[in-house]
Amino acid sequence: MIEEAKKLLKRYYGYDTFREGQEKVINSILTSKDTFGIMPTGAGKSICYQIPALMLSGITIVVSPLISLMKDQVDSLNNIGIKASFINSTLDQHEVQERILMAVSGYTKLLYVAPERLESESFCQLLKTMPVSMVAIDESHCVSQWGHDFRPSYRSIAPLIRNISPRPIISAFTATATEDVKNDVVRLLGLKDPDIYTTGFDRENLFFSVIRGENKKDYILKYVEDNRESVGVIYAATRKEVDSIYELLKIKGYSVGKYHAGLNDSERTKAQEDFLYDNINIIVATNAFGMGIDKSNVRYVIHYNIPRNMEAYYQEAGRAGRDGEPSECILLFAAQDIVLQKFLIEQSIFSEERRVNEYRRLQDMVDYCHTTKCLRKYILEYFGDESGKEKCDNCSNCKDETELTDITIEAQKIFSCIARVKQRFGTVLVAQVLKGSKDKKVIELQFDKLSTYGIMKGYTIKEVKDLINILIADNYLALSEGQFPVVRLKERAVEVLKGEQKVFQKIQKRKVKAAEDNSLFAILKALRKSISEREMVPPYIIFADSTLREMSEKYPIDEEAILSIKGVGESKLKKYGEEFLKVIVNYVKDNNLQGMSGTLNYNEHNENHKEVAIEKEEIPSHVITLNMFNEGKSLKEITELRNLKFTTIEDHIMRCVLEGMDVDLDSIIPKQYEEAIIEAIKKAGAEKLKPIKEILPEEVSYTAIKAVLCKIKIKI
């Protein structure tokens, strides 16, 4: 079975081998075992249920939490020649009925639905009429109240499964899960003696860094300037901060969009599509953006504030580098973020037990920001993965890229001022006193009489505040909780005031990206963009950046050579191969380069590509069935000859009809009952087969009803 799965992987996805963990998960599903896969973002979870769906006889129902995720997955599947569809609230009733008919008839192999759809009694009844082989649950951590995206509607999945007969295989997937969440997923989804696979949480291509105490907006401006051509996501905790960062970057001329719940549906859709279609390079967003987004060429994710917990952080950070290329995950830490997250917890969580748990998880996040050990090791250990090395040499703690500057004198001035205002005020007022501000409140409190008044007048208030934030981040100062946090001295600050300890500021070395001379890569990206606009799908669905980069390095100049490039399957070769080969061949000729060739040269390919394609292409299974049917064999005979289930053969015929092939449906429909079947459909509707069957005489088969439904569809 796994060898057949590998053939499908190559044919549809363009890869020769499975990634780590995929083969075990797929093999488990194909042996009819309930399966729980815990695999990091970018590890290829979708393939783990998509390939078994192609090999199972019936339909696979995929429970997916977001409309954007469904559309993205379905577009990708249809693009490579796999029949998939979705049902959600964006469709009208006619579109829903049409898609249900395609599912019932066997045309659709994967049907994506939102968990809320499973709360509909009519939809659950409809599923009973479908040959459901598997229910795949994406983002399965949402079933647990301890998961970071708890969705009560996920609790509807288990009751639904209990009502489907025969019981389908259940597969569940998530990127992040603590032990509590794992146990909840198994229990609440009703998984029966499941195989549980944790493929390891490490994403080796991601560079993790925590930046403490720097002015966040200054840092972002420097970073995006140094990475102007790169694609990135900037997460902020509140709508107000998203708007502020967006306006800052837009004024500076960057290609940027924003996304948060305060925008209307059309504004959010446009922002997301602009990002997916490479119309903008940067999206600034709250955590409402991104779950399940498969955009593969995100080179950096910056968190402007600390997230509420490690699960949310790792999932959001993991949206960088899904194509396996080197990418950065940067967290900008300030102590005020802790106050903000505690406020958000208080406002959004009303169960005392859950609130206590959220505070504990927030503390884990704060500890990550302050740890001196390897950041990757901290993350892996949090998720129970002990496989990490002591040093990864690919995070800011292992690969220190900072320069030390002695700021002891400045720190002593700040500490002294805080002591003289009796540790009763916030950072702004302390900075104003040190600067020598004439602010009304400073004068009223007679702080202009203090010895520390104006002793840092050579600095701007912003620069003094930045220094205070550095000292808070480095644990010399503390902020009180509450709406108006007060800055206070810690024991380390007292030691500095006594001259017993020096203070050093870590300044990030500015990274300057080496210029890459790869004009073919740019040409291929332009071609991809043109095709994406023509076909109205995001560019990465056509080919990932990593695929284009491999093309631009190896120069494949014929069909066989380009098929060896990772990410080029047979379906994409047929759709796009000729256009990409033409560009590569011209580039090779113009630059006197040596192209990568298979057994055919490009000219032979150009003359004979139709014959080659015909030789290589396997006849689809449903077409084989149709050929036998057209030879006069009955559906029952074909079932026995092909050693397949009768429902599979029946679905093959209906699929051929829906694909516009010439099928003699009249030979399946008893002539004396055709009108009666049509009348029954009018009375009961086309959504469910069982109500139609109940109206008709017992001898009228489901096959005849499906055939009439297809015939009506053709006439429409």
pLDDT score, position 701: 85
Least confident window among 25-39, 98-112, 135-149, 643-657: 643-657
| Contact between residue 201 and residue 42 where contact means Cβ atoms under 8 Å apart | no
Say whether 298 sits in a helix, a strand or coil. Answer: strand
pLDDT score, position 713: 62
Is pLDDT above 80 for 13?
yes
Per-residue pLDDT band at 36 (split at 50, 70, 90): very high
Per-residue pLDDT band at 109 (split at 50, 70, 90): very high
| Contact between residue 48 and residue 26 where contact means Cβ atoms under 8 Å apart | yes
Please return the burial class of 492, using the count of CB atoms within 10 Å of its CB with bins 0-12, 13-18 and 19+. Answer: middle
Least confident window among 83-92, 287-296, 330-339, 389-398: 287-296
Q: Between these two residues, 109 and 118, which has the higher pLDDT value?
A: 109
Domains detected in the chain:
2-198 (3.40.50.300), 206-401 (3.40.50.300), 404-508 (1.10.10.10), 519-616 (1.10.150.80)
Consecutive H or E run containing 651 = helix 646-658
Give mean pLDDT, residues 486-500.
91
Give mean pLDDT, residues 435-453.
93
Which structure tokens are listed for 161? 């499964």
Q: Between these two residues, 67 and 310, which has the higher pLDDT value?
A: 310
| Contact between residue 232 and residue 297 where contact means Cβ atoms under 8 Å apart | no
State how far Cα 442 lies from the chain centre.
50
Give mean pLDDT, residues 394-416.
87
Is pLDDT above 60 for 511?
no
Mean pLDDT of the chain: 85
pLDDT by residue (tens digit) across 529-574? 999 888 888 898 899 888 998 999 889 998 888 998 988 988 889 8
| Contact between residue 638 and residue 628 where contact means Cβ atoms under 8 Å apart | yes
d(CA 561, CA 554): 9
Contacts of 332 (CB under 8 A, 6+ apart): 211, 214, 216, 219, 220, 302, 303, 304, 305
pLDDT score, position 598: 63
Least confident window among 122-126, 250-254, 316-320, 479-483: 479-483
| Contact between residue 406 and residue 220 where contact means Cβ atoms under 8 Å apart | no
Which structure tokens are listed for 499? 């001259």
Give mean pLDDT, residues 72-96.
86
pLDDT by residue (tens digit) across 121-139? 888 888 877 889 999 999 8
Give whole-number Cα distances, 511 to 214, 504, 508, in Å: 16, 21, 9
| Contact between residue 345 and residue 362 where contact means Cβ atoms under 8 Å apart | yes
Is pLDDT above 90 for 233?
yes
pLDDT by residue (tens digit) across 202-211? 888 999 999 9
Is pLDDT above 60 for 612?
no
Is pLDDT above 80 for 703?
yes
Give mean pLDDT, residues 389-413.
86
pLDDT score, position 277: 87
User: DSSP labels for 374-441?
Assistant: -HHHHHHHHTT-TT--S--SSBTTTS--EEEEE-HHHHHHHHHHHHHTTT-S-HHHHHHHHHT---HH
Give mean pLDDT, residues 141-149.
79
pLDDT by residue (tens digit) across 217-232? 999 999 999 998 899 9
pLDDT score, position 716: 38
pLDDT score, position 37: 93
Helices (H) and strands (E) in the chain, counts: 32, 17
d(CA 602, CA 582): 9
Contacts of 377 (CB under 8 A, 6+ apart): 388, 389, 390, 391, 392
Give mean pLDDT, residues 195-207.
87
Which residue is associated with the tokens 């003289």?
420
Q: Between these two residues, 21 and 614, which has the higher pLDDT value?
A: 21
d(CA 497, CA 408): 9
Is pLDDT above 90 for 433?
yes
pTM for this model (two decimals): 0.66
Is pLDDT above 90 for 336?
no
Q: What percent of the chain has pLDDT over 90?
A: 32
Least confident window among 278-282, 492-496, 660-664: 660-664
Is pLDDT above 80 for 112?
yes
Is pLDDT above 90 for 284?
yes
Is pLDDT above 60 for 615?
no
